[in-house]
Amino acid sequence: MVRLDEIVAGYGEPGSSAAVLDGVSLQVPAGALLVLLGPSGCGKSSLLNVIAGFIPLRGGRARIDGRDIRGPGADRGVVFQDDALLPWLDAAGNVEFPLRLKGMPAAERRERAQHFLELVGLRDQPRHAVWELSGGMRQRVGIARALAADPQVLLMDEPFGALDALTRERMQELLLRIWATTGKTIVLVTHGVEEAVFLATDLVLLSPRPARIVERHVLDFGRRFAGGEAARAVKSQPDFIATREAVLAAVFASEPDLQAAIG
């Protein structure tokens, strides 16, 4: 379980810039698909980076299973918006990369990579150059790579933000299927309200900078999809629409400037 207590964090030297996060506390239950939702630049990615161990804390405590987070570690896998694949390796090579760092023998590595490529629906593209793949396929490789390292928690920083609308929906469905089959705890950052409501078991709404938790919802639309309902059917159910509109209203309300702009 990930547990954040009164987190204070920012970029650069303390005092040189205002904190991006100022006293945020959050718990991520095991097996949850927790979505951090907030307006652009609110600090939701920073919060994810704190869990990943990419940015040091100025105050507060960040723990995973009781251990303090002191830096990046193999217990937390990360999927980046810009995919962060290594272009000098092919698709399978990228998925094998974390295993190679651990010193796993080549044959075992290949087998594992193939398994995770199949899981993300890229069974037939193992030897493809990643820079020739489409954005959605690259993100699939990124997810397979993060899963291959077998992390406890999967951290996803706006993973579908750069994809077209159709691919985005496909990837949401893929993510829910992966979440249901692997049982991994996932923390996902997005600014898409519909995406957040559809995916989240725990939806955390953040205010503009410095980020604070405005609302927290426990939802089950993703579970309905994982249980066999069609994605569009779930998304057009009245309670989905009602929740989406309520969350959207809360996002607008949390941002006074935006509210003024739309009158």
- Site residues (CB under 8 A) for another protein? 52-54, 71-74, 76-78, 80, 82-88, 97-98, 100-102, 129-131, 145, 149
CA angle 126, 131, 158 (to 5 degrees): 95
Q: How far is the CB of 111 from another protein (least distance, A)?
A: 18
Residue type for 89, please? L
Pairing of strands 33-37, 185-190: parallel
Instruction: State the nearest-atom distance from the C-beta of 51 to another protein, in Å.
Output: 11
Q: Which two tokens stand for residue 186?
A: 């996932």
Q: Judged by CB, which is closer to another protein: 48, or 171?
A: 48
The least CB distance from residue 56 to another protein, in Å, is 13
| In the complex, least distance from residue 149 CB atom to another protein, rounded to whole angstroms | 5
Torsion region of 225: left, alpha or beta (phi above 0 gives left; psi -120 to 50 gives alpha): alpha
Shortest distance, CB of residue 9 to another protein, whole angstroms?
A: 16
For 247, other C-beta atoms within 10 Å of its C-beta total: 21
Q: For residue 38, with 0-12 CB atoms within 10 Å meaning exposed, 13-18 middle and 19 or more buried, which class applies?
A: buried
- Min dist CB 48 to another protein, Å, is 11
Which C-beta is closer to another protein: that of 97 or that of 240? 97
Strands 202-206 vs 33-37: parallel, antiparallel or unpaired: parallel
The residue (of 80 and 252) whose beta carbon lies closer to another protein is: 80
* 74 vs 241 by CB, closer to another protein: 74
**For residue 54, what are the CA distances in angstroms to 45, 72, 81?**
11, 6, 15
Instruction: Considering only CA atoms, give the Rg of the chain.
Output: 19
* Nearer Cβ to another protein (4/78): 78
Please name every residue paired with 79 in a beta bridge, in sequence order, or none if there are none: 156
Considering the complex, state which of residue 64 and residue 193 has its C-beta at the smaller distance from another protein: 64
